[in-house]
Structure 1
Amino acid sequence: MKILSLSMLAGASMMLVSEGVWAEQYLPEIASKAPYKKAYAEMLSYPDWVSKAQGTASPVETVSADGKRFTVGHMCKPHDCADNQLIVVFNADGTKSWGLLATRPAEGEAFSKQLLGDPDSVVQGLLNKSFADNNPED
């Protein structure tokens, strides 16, 4: 029984030491080291149809909002438009863009929406309107 108690105490001590070491690490440190580095990069990457702008698309539109002109485009994943969409808004001279990436895990489920580029409320309105126009049933 004494050996069992010592084993349990040693195990508990190792857990405490392990947790203490872990508490002293920070996200920038672990995100730059294996195995975290790969997982972190995968989290920030987008599918090729998004990152390479190689999706199925409709013609872009020029719209006005809040006294400014914008170009709005809609694109979706080839052969899976119903569940994977990207709306992009460019400023008038094309030097700034914002997006709304909308994906859903299965047909009939709600979209998960991710804003890209930190859009203000005017641009968010354009993104949401374009999404709604292209998804009248959602």
Structure 2
Amino acid sequence: MTIKTLLAALLLGGSAAALAADTDGQFRLNELLASDPAYQETWQELVEDESRLPEWVMNLSGIASPMQGLDDDGDKYLVGQLCEAHNCFNQRLYVAFSWDKEDAYALYVQLPDGLPTDKAPSQHATLRWLGEPDEATQQLLQEQLRSDPNWY
């Protein structure tokens, strides 16, 4: 590699990291589709082939925490969580948009209503993948789920 190529690679990597840092906390899933038509188009392509999804999932209209930029083996994603407004613990969605906004993947987590507090949510959850994520992206989204202190 020439010095110019190396310098360009370092600058590009640094700007991507700065961009990721700048996006942390600025976006929420329930606002993302209105913020950029590219996100809306990518999400609509994802859900159009899925059956029996609730309206809040189809429209990403629930309660959302701030999204974060994450790097997974060189692939960059904007990742966030959303839950159904009146049933946040039992109905959750974890979403990862590729940095170029071309792909979206999601993990839809459902727990039975009335689950006793002495039952581990992880043992009674139904997990549904949306968008056919590869193994690395599945792990990325599962890590988001496992980071919830009420998930055991």
TM-score by length of 1: 0.65
Q: CA deviation at 1:121?
A: 1.0
Q: Which runs of 5+ in 1 are unaligned?
A: 1-42
Output the CA distance in 1 between the equivalents of 2:103 and 2:68: 16
Matched-pair identity in %: 28
1:124 corresponds to which of 138, 143, 152: 138
Q: Which runs of 5+ in 2 are unaligned?
A: 1-49
How big is each residue's C-alpha offset from its partner over 1:20-45, in whole Å with a ceiling of 9 and x where there is no partner?
A: xxxxxxxxxxxxxxxxxxxxxxx912
Root mean square deviation of aligned Cα: 1.6
**Do structure 1's residue 137 and structure 2's residue 144 form an aligned pair?**
no
Q: CA deviation at 1:135?
A: 4.8
Residue in 1 that maps onto 2:89: 82
Letter of the aligned partner of 1:95 in structure 2?
E
TM-score by length of 2: 0.59
4+ residue stretches of structure 1 with deviation over 6 A? none
After superposition, residues 72-111 of structure 1 pair within 5 angstroms as: 72-106=79-113, 107-108=115-116, 110-111=124-125
Residue in 2 that maps onto 1:49: 56
The structure that has the greater radius of gyration is 1
Output the CA distance in 2 between the equivalents of 1:123 and 1:46: 21
Output the CA distance in 1 between the equivalents of 2:106 and 2:151: 21
- Structure with more contact order per residue of length (Cα contacts < 8 Å, sep ≥ 6): 2
Instruction: Confirm or deny: 8 A CA contact 2:145 2:151 kept in the other structure.
Output: no
Q: CA deviation at 1:94?
A: 1.1
Q: CA deviation at 1:79?
A: 1.7
Residue in 2 that maps onto 1:61: 68
How big is each residue's C-alpha offset from its partner over 1:48-97, in whole Å with a ceiling of 9 and x where there is no partner?
A: 11011100000110000111211101000002111000001111111100
Output the CA distance in 2 between the equivalents of 1:137 and 1:121: 21
